[in-house]
């Protein structure tokens, strides 16, 4: 018999793992900056500072408008209190259970069962549900889906992933600035410093190439951990894994229509409760954990 899981333990473990992963990204950033500082003069850092400031400024604008960008990209419309009465009742019920403010509620046209939450904090949150979810899910299943999305709001996942994006963005910018500077200088900096610095220069080049890739892989791992965390927190809100588990089982057996493939933006896809593109194989480049693993964990809670 499989060992029972505590949703409290799952929530704590996934938060700790997410924190550990973001520390790894930060260490990538420090290591890359240190290695490059050994290989180049400080002119590089002046350029990097400006590039980093630009990156942070751009991401912060996106962060404060994340909900508007996400809703516009899927052509979502405000839910109607009469037409979508069960949806409003469910969101209100989960708002009370979670102790969070009532988010704004939206609906998007799609045959798929799916939903996403966005917003920088609980006071500025939105929840969007597909028309397919409203048609195909029972009240208990819809409750499980909404609880999962409310969990992302409660856990400040948008803020957490924005911080991750800032760090990954800074690593990518510093690596690009270094490689471009090296290309434009034609290696003159290393020539002036002599052959003794060649090994450090080679290490810096490899670090500049590999660090952004490694940081992106860690970022995707964080995204998967946040999904597991939202599942566990959703169980905490509903006090039962049954609804969410049943909804994920329905999602698992769905196929993607050509219309839906055009409807979803790849930039917004990580926000959804499941991968809207239904990739056949889950791997290191997946933003969502394998749906079978999620169902298995929920079955043991």
Q: Which tokens in the block code for residue 281? A: 């194989």
CA 213 from chain centre, in angstroms, equals: 16
Q: Which residues are catalytic?
A: 149
Contacts of 87 (CB under 8 A, 6+ apart): 79, 105, 107, 129, 134, 142
What's the order of all strands across the beta sheet hosting 104-108? 77-78, 104-108, 126-130, 115-118
């Amino acid at each position: 018999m499989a060992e029972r899981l505590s949703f409290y333990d799952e929530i704590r473990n996934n938060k700790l793992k997410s924190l550990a992963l973001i520390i790894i990204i930060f260490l990538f950033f420090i290591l890359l900056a240190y290695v490059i500082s050994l290989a180049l003069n400080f002119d590089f850092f002046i350029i990097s500072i400006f590039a980093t400031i630009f990156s942070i400024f751009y991401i912060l604008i996106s962060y404060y408008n994340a909900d508007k960008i996400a809703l516009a990209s899927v052509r979502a419309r405000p839910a109607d209190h009469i037409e979508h009465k069960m949806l409003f009742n469910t969101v209100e019920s989960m708002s009370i259970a979670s102790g969070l403010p009532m988010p704004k509620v939206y609906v998007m046209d799609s045959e798929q069962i799916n939903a996403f939450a966005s917003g920088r904090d609980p006071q500025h949150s939105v929840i969007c549900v597909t028309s397919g979810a409203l048609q195909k899910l029972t009240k208990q299943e819809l409750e499980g889906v909404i609880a999962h999305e409310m969990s992302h709001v409660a856990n400040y996942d948008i803020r957490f992933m924005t911080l991750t994006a800032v760090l990954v963005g800074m690593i990518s910018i510093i690596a690009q600035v270094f490689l471009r500077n090296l290309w434009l200088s034609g290696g003159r900096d290393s020539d002036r410093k002599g052959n003794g610095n060649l090994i450090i220069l080679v290490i810096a080049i490899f670090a500049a190439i590999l660090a952004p890739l490694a940081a992106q892989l860690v970022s995707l791992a964080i995204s998967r951990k946040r999904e597991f965390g939202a599942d566990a927190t959703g169980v905490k809100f509903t006090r039962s894994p049954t609804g969410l588990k049943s909804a994920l089982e329905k999602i698992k057996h769905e196929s993607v229509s050509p219309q839906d493939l055009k409807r979803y933006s790849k930039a917004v896809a990580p926000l959804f409760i499941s991968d809207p593109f239904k990739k056949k194989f889950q791997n290191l480049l997946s933003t969502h954990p394998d749906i079978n693993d999620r169902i298995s964990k929920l079955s043991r809670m």
